[in-house]
């Protein structure tokens, strides 16, 4: 059984020879290939090579493509800062005026943005070289609520969310951002991804209340899962931070997969998502993968595996691995997953 089959069958709820491994490793992959982030993100051939090499070298079952969290927002007019060896990020919103930002949030703009074209070309190249061998999860940047926060500015959005008079326009902005975001999923899928995914970290209880999540973020997440499912596209929803308070709501969105951060209670995740969504994660990327010893990685990996005795897991880091993650920790992680399966078959 190869990586593509392992992850496809896990998503289909079928048995596999072992739990599949996939990592949120774009920064690590670039560093491991000897590229700066600028070299990685400016040439699709570089990006594809870094991802493919890292997957084959460390024995991962799939590739999760990612470039930064500013693709959609930049295409819509937000200003970004792109340090040579760090991912780009939004530094100035597209506009501070709500009417103006509603106007700017036009899905057509994705088609002409150069950064997006480079990213999609990288997905095409990866697909050409690894289709049917490695499972390709193409990240489609940021979810509706998070795109709205990036193009309008987090502070502007937070203030307006509590102003009943602004509510109608806020929903118009979210509708426009939804169209942008859905369009990006379709572009990523068309480029050759086996499934898509997205982050909606501004919708985390670390930033907004569960009540606000239910009102302003969850309806668009649910619609996305359903609009994509109608087109036969599976997606993974990633939300950072401690998400215990909204786990049930996330489950109700019926995503093919959910990627949860290590700050959330592990057994609650396993219990809530069982037979609903495949869980991606949930090992601490910084404290364990990057700064931990190999023994810490082994123990964290075993702890996660034990929570999913019946499958429904693609094990990895719950969020992006730092570039300086030690390669030996990645090897220890993959080795632990392989060995734990051997132990299971023996017992």
Report, in Å, the least distance between residue 21 CB and Zn ion.
18
Report, in Å, the least distance between residue 300 CB and Zn ion.
17
* Sheet strands (E) in the chain: 62-65, 79-81, 89-92, 135-142, 195-199, 235-239, 257-260, 278-283, 313-317
Report, in Å, the least distance between residue 17 CB and Zn ion.
29
Residue ranges in 153-192 that form contacts with Zn ion under rule CB under 5 A: none
Report, in Å, the least distance between residue 241 CB and Zn ion.
8
| 260 touching Zn ion, by CB under 5 A | no
Instruction: Name the residue among 37, 63, 36 with its Cα closest to residue 125.
Output: 63
HSE, CB side, 13 Å, CA atoms: give it for residue 139. Answer: 27
User: CB of 60 within 8 A of CB of 23?
Assistant: yes
| 202 touching Zn ion, by CB under 5 A | no
The packing angle between helices 144-152 and 218-230, to 10°, is 120
Report, in Å, the least distance between residue 189 CB and Zn ion.
22
Give 102 or 319: the residue with its C-beta nearer to Zn ion. 319
| 237 touching Zn ion, by CB under 5 A | no
How many residues bind Zn ion, per CB under 5 A? Answer: 2
| 317 touching Zn ion, by CB under 5 A | no
| 240 touching Zn ion, by CB under 5 A | yes
Coil/strand/helix, residue 212: helix
CB within 8 Å of 122: residues ≥ 6 apart: 44, 45, 47, 48, 51, 65, 67
| 63 touching Zn ion, by CB under 5 A | no
Give 188 or 319: the residue with its C-beta nearer to Zn ion. 319
| 332 touching Zn ion, by CB under 5 A | no
Q: Of the listed pieces 33-41, 139-147, 235-243, 336-344, which binds Zn ion according to CB under 5 A? A: 235-243
CB within 8 Å of 42: residues ≥ 6 apart: 118
Give 23 or 240: the residue with its C-beta nearer to Zn ion. 240
Give 104 or 317: the residue with its C-beta nearer to Zn ion. 317
Report, in Å, the least distance between residue 228 CB and Zn ion.
20
| 319 touching Zn ion, by CB under 5 A | yes
Give 90 or 240: the residue with its C-beta nearer to Zn ion. 240
Report, in Å, the least distance between residue 68 CB and Zn ion.
13
Instruction: Name the residue among 167, 238, 253 with its Cα closest to residue 203.
Output: 238
Report, in Å, the least distance between residue 172 CB and Zn ion.
28
Q: 237-255 in b/e burial notation, b at 16+ Cβ within 10 A?
A: bbbbbbbbebbebbbbbeb
Report, in Å, the least distance between residue 127 CB and Zn ion.
25
Residue 67: is it exposed, middle or buried by C-beta count within 10 angstroms (0-12/13-18/19+)? buried
Q: Of the listed pieces 10-18, 61-69, 237-245, 277-285, which binds Zn ion according to CB under 5 A? A: 237-245
Residue 45: is it exposed, middle or buried by C-beta count within 10 angstroms (0-12/13-18/19+)? exposed
User: CB of 125 within 8 A of CB of 43?
Assistant: no
C-alpha to C-alpha distance for 295 and 283, rounded to whole angstroms: 13
Give 193 or 319: the residue with its C-beta nearer to Zn ion. 319
| 203 touching Zn ion, by CB under 5 A | no
In the chain the first and final C-alpha atoms are separated, in Å, by 22
Give 47 or 319: the residue with its C-beta nearer to Zn ion. 319
- Binding residues for Zn ion (CB under 5 A): 240, 319
């Amino acid at each position: 059984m190869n990586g593509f089959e392992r992850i496809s069958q896990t998503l289909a709820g079928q048995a596999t020879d072992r739990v599949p491994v996939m990592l949120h490793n774009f920064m690590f992959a670039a560093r491991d290939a000897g590229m700066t982030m600028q070299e990685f993100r400016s040439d699709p051939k570089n990006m594809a090579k870094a991802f493919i090499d890292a997957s084959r070298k460390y024995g991962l079952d799939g590739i999760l493509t990612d470039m930064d969290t500013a693709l959609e927002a930049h295409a819509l007019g937000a200003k970004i800062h792109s340090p040579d060896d760090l991912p780009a990020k939004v530094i100035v919103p597209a506009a501070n005026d709500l009417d103006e930002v509603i106007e700017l949030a036009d899905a057509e703009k994705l088609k002409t943005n150069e950064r997006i074209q480079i990213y999609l070309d990288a997905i095409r190249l990866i697909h050409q070289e690894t289709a049917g061998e490695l499972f390709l999860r193409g990240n489609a940047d940021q979810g509706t609520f998070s795109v709205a926060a990036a193009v309008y500015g987090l502070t502007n959005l937070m203030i307006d969310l509590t102003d009943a008079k602004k509510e109608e326009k806020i929903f118009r902005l979210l509708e426009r951002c939804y169209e942008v975001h859905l369009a990006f999923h379709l572009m990523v899928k068309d480029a050759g991804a086996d499934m898509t995914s997205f982050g909606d970290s501004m919708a985390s209880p670390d930033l907004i209340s569960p009540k606000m999540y239910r009102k302003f973020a969850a309806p668009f997440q649910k619609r996305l899962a359903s609009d994509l499912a109608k087109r036969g596209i599976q997606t993974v929803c990633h939300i950072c931070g401690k998400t215990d308070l909204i786990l049930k709501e996330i489950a109700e969105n019926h995503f093919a997969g959910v990627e949860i951060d290590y700050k959330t209670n592990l057994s609650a995740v396993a219990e809530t998502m069982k037979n609903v969504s495949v869980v991606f994660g949930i090992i601490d990327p910084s404290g364990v993968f990057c700064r931990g010893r190999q023994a810490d990685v082994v123990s964290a990996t075993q702890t996660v595996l034990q929570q999913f005795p019946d499958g429904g897991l693609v094990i990895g880091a719950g969020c992006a691995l730092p570039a300086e993650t030690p390669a030996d920790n990645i090897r220890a992680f993959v080795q632990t997953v392989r060995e734990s399966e051997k132990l299971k078959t023996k017992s």
